[in-house]
Chain A
Amino acid sequence: MDIYFIIFAIMALGGALFTITAKDALPSALGLLTVFIALSALYLHLHAPLIAIFQVTIYAGAILVLVVFVIMLLMTPDEKLEAAQKNMAYRIMGAVLGAYLTALTVVGVKGISELISANELPEGFGHPGLLGDLFFKKYLLHFEMASVLLLVALIAGIYLAKKRI
C-alpha cells in the first residue's frame, strides 16, 4: 500500500460518494469526472498507460460530455433530482440493479484474480507504443480502411442530418 495508491483511491471513492449523494444532477456529473480521473491515475500506477489514456479520452472526454449534454437538455435549472427520488418504483429498481452490479463485480474480481495468479505479463505490456506498432505494421491496411469508413460515415451523416445542403 503506497501513498500514491491511497491518495487516488480515496479520491475515487470520495468522488463516487459525492456522485450518488449530490442533490443536483450537474455536480453529480462532476463527481463522476473526478472518479474517472482518479481511476486513470490508478491505471498509470498499474503500468497500464494505454488504458489510462483511453480512460481519459473516452470516459472523461466523450462519455461524460454526452452525459452533461443529456442532463442539460432534459432538466430545467430549478428542477431537482428529489422529485425522481421520491418515486418508490425507482428506488426498488435501483436496489435490485445495485445488488446485481455488486454480484457481478464480485464474480469478475474472482475471475480476474484467478487469471492473474496464473499469468506473468510480457515485457512492455500495455505500452501505447506497442499498439501503435501493431497499427502501423500488421494492421496497417485495417487502420487505413477504418479511416475510409469514418469518411463515409461523415458524408452520410452530414447529408442525412442537414436540412438544406
Chain B
Amino acid sequence: MNALTFSFDLGHLWQVCGGQLILILAGIFLIFIDIFLLDKDESCRNKWLGWLTVIIFALTIGHLAKREWGLHDTVFMGVFSADKFSVFVSIIMVISGLLAALMSIGYLKNNQVMKGEYYILLVFAVAGAVGLVQSVDLLMMFITLEVMSLAVYALAAFLKGDRTSQEGALKYFLLGAFGSAMFLFGVALIFGITGSLNISKIAQSLSSGLYAKAPILLAFAMIMAGLFFKMAMVPFHMWTPDVYEGAPSVVTGFMATCVKAAAFGIFIKVLFVTFTPILSQNGQPDFYATVNLSALAPYWKPVIWWLALLTMFFGNLIAVSQSNIKRMLAYSSIAHAGYMAVGIIAANADGRMGVLFYLFSYTLMNLGAFGVIYLIDGRERDAQTLDDYRGIGYRYPTLAFLLSLFLVAMAGLPPTAGFIAKFYVFSAAIKEGYYLLAALGVLTSVIGAYYYLRVLYMMYMKEEIRVVTRGTVSAPTAIALIVTALGVLYLGILPEGLANVASAAQQSLAMIF
C-alpha cells in the first residue's frame, strides 16, 4: 500500500465549494431546528423554518457572488470547479430556491401541510443542484444529480393525501431513474475507454484520436439522453405534464426553474468542454490538440437541431389544447427548453450567453406565474381550469395584472425579459446560419402567444361562471411576487448589465482544467 502522501486543503475546499458547504450544513442544521421547535404549533414552525431557509439561500447567494466569482484557482481535486459559468448557473438556482422558499411559507399554510421536511428537502435539492453544476467529474455529476433528484421526487409527492401528486411523483421517479441509468451507462463507457472521469482530461484523451469511434459516440449519446430527460426535451418529455400538474404549485415552479437550470448548466458544460474544441482557446499547450474535437460537430449538431425543433413544436402545439393551467404551463416549459436548445446549437459565445440570460429571466417569470397560480387556487386543485380564470381580472385586479405580466413575458413580448431572452438565442442562431431553425422557432413562439394571451382574454373579457376564492396572500409571497415582477420588467428594459455578466460567465468555460 502506498504511503499517506495525500493532502487535503480545507481552505481551498471552502473557496471552491463554499456555497455547497453552506447549503449542506444548513440542511443538517434545519433538521435540528425542526426538532427544537417540536412543542410549538405548526404555523409558528412553518414561519421559523421558512424564514431560516430564506436567510440560508441569501447567504449562499452572497458567498457565491462575492467569493467564488472571480476566483483564480478554480478547480478543487479535479472534482469541483468554481469557474464563472458554474457560479452564474448556481446563483440562478439558489435564487430560484429563495423565491420558492418565500412562496412556500404561504403555500404550506394555505394547504395545511406545514411540515419541516419541506424546507429541509428544498435546501438539499438546491445543494445537489449547485453540486451538479459545479462538478467537473462525471461520477460526481451522477451522485449530485441523484441528491437533487431524490429531494425533488419527495417534494413532488409532498401532498400526501392527494392522488395526483403521488401519481406524478411516482412517474417522475421511475422515468427519472431511467434517465439517470442512461447517464450512468454513458459514464461507465467513457471511464472504461479513457480511464478518466474528469471532463477536461477526457477531452484531452479523446482529442488524441479516440473521437468518432463508435463506443465513444454511444457513450456521448447516452450521457446526452440522460440529461435530455431532466431538461424535458421532446422525445424524453413524457413525464413533464403529469408531474407538473400533480406537484404542489410552488414545487412545480421550482422544478421548472432550478432543475431545468441545473440540467441545462451541466449539459452545456459537458457538451462544450468534453466534446467541442473550446478548451483549445485557453492558451495551454496541453489542450491544443482538442481542436480535433470539432470533428464531432457533424454528429451532435443535427441531433440537437431536430430535438430543438420538435421540442418547440410539440410543446407549443399541445399546450394550445390544454384546459388546466398548470398542465398548459408544463407544455410551455417544454417549449422553453426548445428555445434554449436553439441557443446551444449556435455553439458560439452569443448563444451560450443567450441561454444563461434565458435561464435567469425564465426563473423569474415562471416562479412568479406559479406563485400567482397557487394564490388563485386557494387550496391545491380548487381552481386550476381555464374556466376558473374567467373574470378574475375584475375580482382580483392585482393578481390578474401580475399573472398577465408573467404570461406576456413567457410569450416573449416587449418590454419584458422574455422578449430579450428570445432575441438573444435566436440572433445567435441566425449569426451561425441557422436561418430555418430560427424562423421556425419564431413561428412556434407565435403559436405560444396564442395560448398565453388566451388566459388574459379569459381573465379580462369573459364573465365569470363561478365565484373563485383566492387563498390568503401572505407577506413573503407578496415580496417574492413583487421582486419577480420588477425583475422581469427591469431585465426587459435594461438587459445590458446581466448580459455582460452572462457573457463573462460563458467565457470561463474554456478555463476548466
Which residues of A approach B to under 8 Å, CB–CB? 124, 127, 129-130, 133, 136-137, 139-142, 145-146, 148-149, 151-153, 155-156, 158-160, 165
Q: Whose C-beta in chain B lies nearest to the C-beta of A157?
A: B154
Distance (whole angstroms) from the CB of B327 to the closest CB of chain A: 24
Residues of A within 8 A of B140 (CB): 141-142, 145
Given the complex of chains A and B, what is the CA–CA distance between A145 and B151 in angstroms? 14
Residues of B within 8 A of A124 (CB): 1
Tell me whether B24 is interfacial, beta carbon within 8 Å: yes
Known: A142-B143, A159-B117, A160-B157. A152 touches B79 (CB 8 A): no
- CB atoms of A142 and B79 under 8 A apart: yes
Distance (whole angstroms) from the CB of A152 to the closest CB of chain B: 5
13 contacts between A and B (CB under 8 A): A129-B1, A141-B77, A142-B79, A149-B146, A151-B124, A153-B150, A155-B31, A155-B120, A155-B154, A158-B117, A159-B154, A159-B158, A160-B154
Distance (whole angstroms) from the CB of A126 to the closest CB of chain B: 13
- CB atoms of A160 and B1 under 8 A apart: no
Inter-chain CB contacts under 8 Å: number = 67
- CB atoms of B121 and A156 under 8 A apart: yes
Distance (whole angstroms) from the CB of A12 to the closest CB of chain B: 31
Known: A124-B1, A133-B1, A133-B2. A145 touches B143 (CB 8 A): yes
Residues of B within 8 A of A165 (CB): 115, 117
* Mask of B114-131 contacts with A, CB within 8 angstroms, 1/0: 010100110010011001
Given the complex of chains A and B, what is the CA–CA distance between A146 and B131 in angstroms? 12
Given the complex of chains A and B, what is the CA–CA distance between A145 and B157 in angstroms? 24
Which residues of B approach A to under 8 Å, CB–CB? 1-2, 6, 8, 24, 28, 31, 77, 79-80, 115, 117, 120-121, 124, 127-128, 131, 137, 139-140, 143-144, 146-147, 150-151, 153-154, 157-158, 160
Point out the residue from B8, B28, B115, B139 that lies within 8 Å of A159, measured CB to CB.
B115
Q: Whose C-beta in chain B lies nearest to the C-beta of A143?
A: B143
- CB atoms of B160 and A149 under 8 A apart: no
- The main secondary structure of chain A at its interface with chain B is helix
Known: A142-B79, A145-B143, A145-B144. A152 touches B151 (CB 8 A): yes
Point out the residue from B2, B8, B120 that lies within 8 Å of A140, measured CB to CB.
B8
Given the complex of chains A and B, what is the CA–CA distance between A151 and B123 in angstroms? 13
The 3 closest A-B pairs by CB, nearest first: A156-B154, A159-B117, A137-B6
Residues of A within 8 A of B124 (CB): 148, 151-152, 155
Distance (whole angstroms) from the CB of B490 to the closest CB of chain A: 35
Distance (whole angstroms) from the CB of B158 to the closest CB of chain A: 8
Distance (whole angstroms) from the CB of A4 to the closest CB of chain B: 26
Given the complex of chains A and B, what is the CA–CA distance between A127 and B1 in angstroms? 9
Point out the residue from A133, A137, A145, A152 that lies within 8 Å of B121, measured CB to CB.
A152
Distance (whole angstroms) from the CB of A124 to the closest CB of chain B: 6
Point out the residue from B1, B131, B150 that lies within 8 Å of A145, measured CB to CB.
B131
Given the complex of chains A and B, what is the CA–CA distance between A146 and B6 in angstroms? 21
- CB atoms of B153 and A156 under 8 A apart: yes
Given the complex of chains A and B, what is the CA–CA distance between A155 and B24 in angstroms? 14
- CB atoms of A152 and B147 under 8 A apart: yes
- CB atoms of B160 and A160 under 8 A apart: yes
Point out the residue from B120, B143, B153 that lies within 8 Å of A149, measured CB to CB.
B143
Residues of A within 8 A of B157 (CB): 160
Known: A133-B2, A155-B120. 8 other contacts (CB 8 A): A136-B6, A145-B131, A145-B144, A149-B146, A152-B147, A156-B117, A159-B158, A160-B154
Distance (whole angstroms) from the CB of B430 to the closest CB of chain A: 41
Q: Whose C-beta in chain A lies nearest to the C-beta of B4?
A: A137
Residues of B within 8 A of A153 (CB): 150
Residues of B within 8 A of A152 (CB): 121, 124, 128, 147, 150-151
- CB atoms of A141 and B79 under 8 A apart: yes
Known: A137-B6, A141-B79, A165-B115. A155 touches B143 (CB 8 A): no
Distance (whole angstroms) from the CB of A47 to the closest CB of chain B: 15
Given the complex of chains A and B, what is the CA–CA distance between A148 and B79 in angstroms? 16
- CB atoms of A146 and B1 under 8 A apart: no
Residues of A within 8 A of B139 (CB): 139, 142
Residues of B within 8 A of A146 (CB): 143
Distance (whole angstroms) from the CB of B378 to the closest CB of chain A: 24
Residues of A within 8 A of B160 (CB): 160
**Most chain A CB atoms below 10 A, which of B140, B143, B157:** B143
Given the complex of chains A and B, what is the CA–CA distance between A137 and B121 in angstroms? 29
**Most chain B CB atoms below 10 A, which of A137, A139, A141, A146:** A141
Given the complex of chains A and B, what is the CA–CA distance between A127 and B158 in angstroms? 44
Point out the residue from A127, A137, A156, A158 that lies within 8 Å of B150, measured CB to CB.
A156
- CB atoms of A145 and B115 under 8 A apart: no
